Structure 1
Amino acid sequence: MSDTKTPGDKTLTVSPPKTLTLKRPVEQSTVRQSFSHGRSKQVVVEVKRRAAGPEVKEAPIARAPQPQVQQAAPRPVPPAPTPITRPAGSMLLRTLSEDEKDARQRALSDSRDREAEARRIAEDEARQRAVVIERERQEREAALARQREEEERRRQEDDHKRRAESAARQRMHDEQQAPRPASPQPPRDAAPAPQGDSPAASPAAPAPAYAQAPRPAPSGPRPDFAPRTPMRDIGARPPRLDSRPPRLDTPRPPRPVDTTAPAEPAITRPTRQAPSTAAPRSRPDDAEARPAFRRPGGFAGGPPRGAPVPAPKTPKVGEKPRGRLTLSTATGGDDERTRSVAAFRRRVQRMTGHRASDVAKERVMREVIVPETITIQELANRMTERGVDVIRLLMKQGAMHKITDVIDADTAQLVAEEMGHTVKRVADSDVEGGLFDIADPEDTLLPRPAVVTIMGHVDHGKTSLLDAIRQTHVVTGEAGGITQHIGAYQVKTPSGAQVTFIDTPGHAAFTAMRARGAKVTDVVVLVVAADDGVMPQTVEAINHAKAAGVPLIVAINKIDKADASPERVRSELLQYEIQVETLGGETLEIEVSAKTGKNLDKLLEAIALQAELLDLKANPDRPAEGTVIEAKLDRGRGPVATVLVQRGTLRTGDIVVAGSEWGRVRALIGDTGAHIKEAPPSLPVEVLGFNGTPEAGDRVAVVESEARAREITDYRERQKRDRIAARGGGSAAGRSLADMMRDLKEGAGRKEFPLVVKGDVQGSVEAIVGTLEKVGNDEVRARVLQSGVGGITESDITLAQASGAAVIGFNVRAHKEAREAAERAGVEIRYYNIIYNLVDDVKAAMSGLLAPTLRETMLGNAQILEIFAVSKVGKIAGCRVTDGTIERGANVRLIRDNVVVHEGKLAQLKRFKDDAKEVVAGQECGMSFENYQDMRPGDVIECYRVEEIKRTL
């Protein structure tokens, strides 16, 4: 039997075994190929090895021409060794003989010698190439110098020719205008003179001085510059209107030429050939009838009898009359109309073959001022280059731009330097250079009043203490009995010195106001109530004073109270590194009472002593500098800014800049309400005249012109827009798509409570907005759509209506139009004058947006004993209550093998055949679930109640 399933298959056999050999790899080498002009190139060659007896030689096969390398002399070949026989099918490892080893050593040494020779040849070629390159460079420079000299020589020749032609043309014009005597009439029996206009008709006639110089004409005919005949004396004949010299009907003897006079320069006309003297010229208007004119020495009506009559001339086909008949030519003088300057320039340009246009103009290298961003058009204008050249250069660098595109400073610098210009980089912030902090000479400084800031916790008696010093009643006008505005006053002490006081609010929301007061002050008076001690805002005031680096004076107020404890205040201040003089420190402390006025004089003396130690000076004879302490919008007076002048003197009519607003000072109002003409250093004044309401804390400076003020405010406005865009702008428009997608990904985004806030002063609005931004959590936050100073306007109502926001007015009211618009649109307006109430109401409203907290209360458990199927009802579970109670309508969970398999509500609860409201522990009942029928005996039912608890912020 055959082992295969398919008999008849052929048997596969293997061919006789072959000896396995390893093919030698192709060896490669590199050869340096030299070309003309000093160029070289690396060429890859293949190296083949041939065995010549026992010695192995390398024969490089060059794939490209290579330099001749001196080869070593051939060495004698030793006799071939005796072949070694070995049996078939066996392998023999052959060892090298001594001769073969010597041959290989000689081959290696020859190779090294050839490589050294090749390196030497390459170095010689490199030196020769360097010499050739230097010689070519010198030749190019010499050629360029010769070319420049040739162009200069040609230009001078052209100028000389142009001046000579102009002088000749002027002399011709003068000769035509000068009156000439008429030639005597020849006798009647005299033979007529030869005909023709050319002077060559008479051999005795001398050649005119202005005969054309022979010069080869340019290729191609130029009919518009046909050669003219020499000028002749036309006597009293009126001028021709076709700008051609009139043809004489009778011959006249030539005018004698004075051979003793110097010859006039010849006028060369390069674009025309000398006219033929044999044949007269024909003109298109020669055949027309001309009226006869009587001239001295001529004939009226034609030539005399017997004189040859010239044949009529026919006009040439296609020839047009030269020149155009205009009013200037018709009413011109008696001379012939000549070419215009433009025509002469075109003729010279055609003569010279546009040499002047081919010569590149000498470029002027400029210093280009490049800001942070610049348009391509503006950059081209500053370089005095064409915009297309700049765009072409950018395209070569791989950037496609239009002429109105904006490029950055680095790209503009690369373009300008590539075109040969120098670049001066400037920044947008350079417009503010020299505006602030310019040092004054010591001899110009004069003493100035001290600026003292009153700081402390709320309701510690700061404003009351200042009222006792000023003998005013400012505190009675504050809503809620707390200070919510920053105030500035100047007081004259009993010693006659002037002191400027700045009153800051003590509420936690007015941190920015306290920080501004600490920045502009010289001395800080820390007011601490003796019955209350150190509070959070007291600590904050201490930190502000330390950050500003100003000295501190502690005023322990309310010592007239029964529970006052000044020692407690001193000991608590030690926790914050404030050591008073009573305890051996350096900080002055005064026990005062704003109610009784006790020790107020000692407080003023301490302030005067501290100011004397500081030696406060300023230069009043310079442009004013200061800081905006507070700003508001008055409907009758416009924007009003309270400015503390720190250096110089502010006068009416000065142009001032504050932040992104500027204006001309229309009025200065002191703290008492009186108008003043100027404000010296350390004097707080209200400034009227700004074009907008500046922000509190902005620095004020006087500039020299409105243009400078606009330039500075435009830059600051751009900076402000960039900052608003960077932080989102506080509106939905400022949020990017990535921000909204991130909010959605984190959990459908936070709920927002939109608001529109308007206040009476900038500081209050700033404090309210800062406080509202801190209110909220991860689920809800307040979003201030718009905030500003002044009354509520109709545009605020429109914005609130569009975004569903509420409008809040702090110490301001809505205009009549705004109230009517709010009633029509259903927008709610809330008015507040105390910041506590405003923040509490906003918190309560935002709490309504929070999702309530769900709390579960367990009621009881039951176990299923049996399942009953009821027609038209479904499955009913017979249960026994194990603990607690089961209530109808409560929430239930079905637990099977300790796994919750269903959650829902209890649809029916029955005890026997009656509906039950609840079933207590130990009793049996029947239950059915809503939309669930898969109940099994042994399952456990949990019954619970869900309660919602309202959340608050």
Structure 2
Amino acid sequence: MSDTDGKKTLGLRGGARPGNVKQSFSHGRTKNVVVETKRKRVVVPKPGAANKAGAVAPLGVGDPSRRPAGITDAEMERRLKAVQAAKAREVEEAAARAADEKARAEDRERRRAEIEAKEREEKEREESLKAKAEEEAAAVKAAEAAAQAAAAPAEPTQARPTPNRGGPLPAATPRKNERDQQARPNRGREEDARRSGKLTLNQALAGGAGRQRSMAQMKRKQERARQKAMGGTVEREKVLRTVNLPEAIMVSELAARMTERVGDIVKSLMTMGMMVTQNETIDADTAELIIEEFGHKVNRVSDADVEDVINEVEDKDEDLKPRPPVVTIMGHVDHGKTSLLDAIRKAKVVSGEAGGITQHIGAYQVTTDGGQVLSFLDTPGHAAFTSMRSRGAQVTDIVILVVAADDAVMPQTIEAIAHAKAAKVPMIVAINKIDKYEANPTKVRTDLLQHEVVVEKMSGDVQDVEVSAHTGEGLDELLEAIALQSEFLELKANPDRAAQGAVIEAKLDVGRGPVATVLIQAGTLRVGDIFVVGEKYGKVRALINDQGARIKEAGPSVPVEVLGLNGTPGAGDVLNVTETEAQAREIAEYRQKAAKDKRAAAGAATTLEQLMANAKADEDVSELPIVVKADVQGSAEAIVQAMEKIGNDEVRVRVLHSGVGAITETDVGLAEASGAPIMGFNVRANASARNTANQKGVEIRYYSVIYDLVDDVKAAASGLLSNEIRENFIGYATIKEVFKVTGVGKVAGCMVTEGVARRSAGVRLLRDNVVIHEGTLKTLKRFKDEVPEVKSGFECGMAFERYEDIRADDVIEIFEREEITRTLA
């Protein structure tokens, strides 16, 4: 655009120009897009448009006619202020940068001065130490010279004459010292550096970082120089030590305990005819000879000494305090043991047990109306739980023998009596179910006489009480009998010592980990105590009583669940509290090693003849392998014992693995490799184990009653038994004449003299009452017809399969075989 004078005015150059842009998308797709681009407006002021301050005024401020269209005075004023503010910021930033640079320069100067001062200080210290070392060396040399001068006139005849070829050489010693200094130019510097006790940067860069003498070596050198200056060498006095010697020890370890050189020990062993190295192990007898040869004392120790920290503590009489009695309820299955305890506890435990039978040892505490506290243990009565009853009798003070009045003495009753007598604990007979019509308490007392249990009503010393768990009759008399017996026993324990207890039951609980039911026998177990139990150890994380409540401590005769173990212990193991976790771990590791060695020794203690005999016996015995997983240790133990009793000379049950806790993939893998089913007792398989079992075709069976498990395994084992073959004789025939038939062979003309002859039956050929052939018939004919059977008194023709040595007057015995399925008793 131009004005009337033909001059151009300020305006926009060029408008929007079209252009192409290439857009990129995913998967390599592109697209061309048409866009419009605009040029940036450039404002160029004309020369001479400067203001009074010497600055170029923005376009249009001084001359409104040259101001761009649409720009007001206020906008132009705002733009001017923005330009001035930008210039002011630039000036401030330049000043700040200059100040920062000046501060950095000052800092560098200060650091340089500090470094120089420090170097000067180190140099002065080194010079002073060097001067001090030279003074000490001079003093040592003076002492040596004085000693040599004192010793020279005392031994003039012992001096060896030396030929003097070139006259005396008074400077020989200095020349030798010079040679030593030339050969070792850095020795003095290194010793000075070691004496200084500090390695500087300059020394390291100057080559002083090589191998240097230790402070102990420097001290030994000074000691030798001092002894030499005093008039001769003095041997260092040998330190005699008491060496703890285990059953086997490594040569290097023996040298370390004796503080002798390993080479000396190896050399001494070689003189004894043993070519060993420092990493080999020698027995205790050989090591004892070496120790005595070097003058040390021997203290023979054993690996079992680690258990000395838990030795029995002898309690003083003044420390003993009364404790509640531990009462164990025992008897035959279904005689009412748990129901009797329920009546005492006023609880319902039977309803919680599968099948109404107790399959675990239950531990409870009961407070009587008189305020006396009693600890009860309820044991199972099934035949498989023999070990549980044995454990219950071993940790108890009083045994209550429950006998049903309508059933009298039964096998597990006799077993419980034997356990109580073996444990030497007093017994109280509770004759239960007296409310029944067929109850006969007199018969119970009479039957007990056969097992040397004489009750008071039979003029004996064993208390007997007639009770009914259903009606509650006689319960008060039973509690009085227990109180009387416990008072007579005078039960006491020391609660102020390290706790000791017995594991009644153990299990692997999901969420809580290994849990052990422990009956505290002495001392007090507290939260935080470190303990060892069998081959396991741990720290008490929580204590839970029989009511399910958490407690902080448990005293004598208190049953509690202990949490915090590193594994599931064995039922019957003893719990002992230790001072440190290291002691508990060491004891547990020793016990694990001892158990492993014992199992290995039991497997290796067989001769070649025994191995051959066992291998031959195994060929004739069929095995049913199974894997057992149970909820608690006692149940697993009882199942394994029950499986060992199943079988005979032909078949047996082999438990590949038994454990506590849920069925895992490892169990499934073991079962799949050996073709065994998995028996789960009150446990289930986790999700991964179930999927693996389905894929590999491993059978998993779940049980909640031990009866069913034992019966199923017994039935499966019976399937491995070969069927019994039984022969039934059905008839006799006598050969009258022998015919030779073309295409058939010899045919016997017979008369059936007894029973019946059948085509499908087996036959034996008897000659003079001696069996000469046994087989089957090829043909049985009546005249010319093939018949299935011929009765007594009729004639028939018989031909044997693949046998023709038949004669007249031979007798044919006819019999049938019958297969009978066998089962395990």
Say if 2:793 is the partner of 1:932: no
What does 1:537-576 align with in structure 2 at a 5 Å threshold? 537-576=412-451
TM-aligned CA distance change 1:345 to 1:839, over 3 Å: closer
Contact 2:309 2:578 survives alignment (8 Å) = no
TM-aligned CA distance change 1:724 to 1:272, over 3 Å: closer
Partner of 1:93: none
Give the residue type in structure 1 aligned to 2:522.
R
Contact 1:502 1:517 survives alignment (8 Å) = yes
Distance in 2 separating the partners of 1:565 and 1:572: 11
Q: RCO higher in 1 or 2 (8 Å CA, sep ≥ 6)? A: 2
What does 1:402-441 align with in structure 2 at a 5 Å threshold? 403-417=278-292, 420-441=295-316
Deviation at 1:459, TM superposition (A): 1.1
Give the residue type in structure 1 aligned to 2:350.
V
Give the residue type in structure 1 aligned to 2:138.
A
Say if 2:593 is the partner of 1:712: no
* Superimposed CA distance per residue, residues 822-860 of structure 1 (whole angstroms, 9 cap, x where no aligned partner): 111111111111111111111110011112211111122
**Please, which of 527, 530, 536 is the counterpart of residue 405 of structure 2?**
530
What does 1:812-823 align with in structure 2 at a 5 Å threshold? 812-823=683-694
Deviation at 1:398, TM superposition (A): 6.1
Distance in 2 separating the partners of 1:844 and 1:584: 48
Partner of 1:371: 246
Partner SS state of residue 576, structure 1: coil
Give the residue type in structure 2 aligned to 1:167.
A
Deviation at 1:530, TM superposition (A): 1.5
**Please, which of 546, 550, 556 is the counterpart of residue 675 of structure 1?**
550
TM-aligned CA distance change 1:488 to 1:345, over 3 Å: closer
* Superimposed CA distance per residue, residues 237-279 of structure 1 (whole angstroms, 9 cap, x where no aligned partner): xxxxxxxxxxxxxxxxxxxxxxxxxxxxxxx839959x9xxxx
TM-aligned CA distance change 1:460 to 1:872, over 3 Å: same
Stretch moving more, 406-415 or 358-367: 358-367
**Please, which of 465, 474, 498 is the counterpart of residue 340 of structure 2?**
465
Deviation at 1:762, TM superposition (A): 0.8
Deviation at 1:393, TM superposition (A): 5.7
Partner of 2:173: 269
Distance in 1 separating the partners of 2:302 and 2:538: 25
Distance in 1 separating the partners of 2:334 and 2:499: 36
Partner of 2:510: 635
Deviation at 1:479, TM superposition (A): 1.0
Contact 2:328 2:379 survives alignment (8 Å) = yes
TM-aligned CA distance change 1:610 to 1:940, over 3 Å: same
What does 1:255-334 align with in structure 2 at a 5 Å threshold? 269=173, 272=176
Partner of 1:661: 536
TM-aligned CA distance change 1:271 to 1:493, over 3 Å: farther
Partner of 2:64: none
Deviation at 1:477, TM superposition (A): 0.9
**Please, which of 624, 629, 635 is the counterpart of residue 753 of structure 1?**
624
TM-aligned CA distance change 1:756 to 1:746, over 3 Å: closer
Partner of 2:127: none
**Please, which of 899, 904, 909 is the counterpart of residue 770 of structure 2?**
899
Distance in 1 separating the partners of 2:235 and 2:609: 55
Partner of 2:749: 878
Give the residue type in structure 2 aligned to 1:855.
R
| Percentage of identical aligned residues | 59
Contact 2:501 2:521 survives alignment (8 Å) = yes
Partner of 2:62: none
Distance in 1 separating the partners of 2:254 and 2:655: 42
* Superimposed CA distance per residue, residues 356-414 of structure 1 (whole angstroms, 9 cap, x where no aligned partner): xx999876554332323334443444344555665666666666656545444444445
* Superimposed CA distance per residue, residues 192-238 of structure 1 (whole angstroms, 9 cap, x where no aligned partner): xxxxxxxxxxxxxxxxxxxxx9x98999xxxxxxx997xxxxxxxxx
TM-aligned CA distance change 1:818 to 1:906, over 3 Å: same
Deviation at 1:324, TM superposition (A): 5.5
* Superimposed CA distance per residue, residues 484-536 of structure 1 (whole angstroms, 9 cap, x where no aligned partner): 11111111111111111111111111111111111111111111112111222
Distance in 1 separating the partners of 2:181 and 2:573: 81
**Please, which of 510, 521, 524 is the counterpart of residue 649 of structure 1?**
524
Give the residue type in structure 1 aligned to 2:173.
R
Deviation at 1:912, TM superposition (A): 2.8
Say if 2:490 is the partner of 1:615: yes
Partner of 2:711: 840
Partner SS state of residue 681, structure 1: coil
Distance in 1 separating the partners of 2:236 and 2:593: 42
Distance in 1 separating the partners of 2:266 and 2:141: 49
Root-mean-square deviation (CA, aligned residues, Å) is 3.8
Partner of 1:64: none
Say if 2:682 is the partner of 1:811: yes
TM-aligned CA distance change 1:169 to 1:489, over 3 Å: closer
Partner SS state of residue 539, structure 2: strand
Say if 2:791 is the partner of 1:920: yes
Give the residue type in structure 2 aligned to 1:367.
T
Give the residue type in structure 1 aligned to 2:500.
E
Partner SS state of residue 269, structure 1: helix
Partner SS state of residue 707, structure 1: helix
Partner of 2:389: 514
Say if 2:792 is the partner of 1:909: no
Deviation at 1:690, TM superposition (A): 0.1
Distance in 2 separating the partners of 1:632 and 1:547: 28
Contact 1:217 1:270 survives alignment (8 Å) = no
Aligned length: 645
What does 1:349-498 align with in structure 2 at a 5 Å threshold? 365-385=240-260, 403-417=278-292, 420-498=295-373
Partner SS state of residue 944, structure 1: strand
Distance in 1 separating the partners of 2:650 and 2:138: 96
Partner of 2:88: none
Distance in 1 separating the partners of 2:768 and 2:702: 62
Contact 2:520 2:558 survives alignment (8 Å) = yes
Distance in 1 separating the partners of 2:581 and 2:533: 13
Partner SS state of residue 859, structure 1: strand
Contact 1:218 1:271 survives alignment (8 Å) = no
Partner of 2:475: 600
What does 1:50-61 align with in structure 2 at a 5 Å threshold? none
Stretch moving more, 359-368 or 805-814: 359-368
Partner SS state of residue 313, structure 2: coil
Q: What are the ranges of 5 or more consecutive residues in structure 2 without an aligned counterpart? A: 1-133, 144-155, 164-168, 194-201, 225-232
Deviation at 1:882, TM superposition (A): 3.0
Partner of 2:73: none
Q: Pick the structure with more helix per residue.
A: 2
Partner of 1:856: 727
Partner SS state of residue 310, structure 2: coil
Partner of 1:66: none
Larger Rg: 1
Partner of 2:460: 585
Partner of 1:352: none
Distance in 1 separating the partners of 2:402 and 2:182: 107
What does 1:764-775 align with in structure 2 at a 5 Å threshold? 764-775=635-646
Deviation at 1:760, TM superposition (A): 0.8
Distance in 2 separating the partners of 1:517 and 1:903: 62
TM-aligned CA distance change 1:893 to 1:364, over 3 Å: farther
TM-aligned CA distance change 1:228 to 1:689, over 3 Å: farther
Distance in 2 separating the partners of 1:520 and 1:415: 49
TM-aligned CA distance change 1:911 to 1:710, over 3 Å: same
Say if 2:600 is the partner of 1:696: no
TM-aligned CA distance change 1:412 to 1:893, over 3 Å: farther
Stretch moving more, 779-788 or 879-888: 879-888
Say if 2:673 is the partner of 1:802: yes
Deviation at 1:748, TM superposition (A): 2.4
Contact 2:762 2:816 survives alignment (8 Å) = yes
Partner of 1:140: none
Distance in 1 separating the partners of 2:594 and 2:562: 25
Deviation at 1:549, TM superposition (A): 1.6
Q: What are the ranges of 5 or more consecutive residues in structure 1 without an aligned counterpart? A: 1-162, 173-212, 220-226, 230-267, 276-282, 284-318, 350-357
Partner SS state of residue 389, structure 2: helix
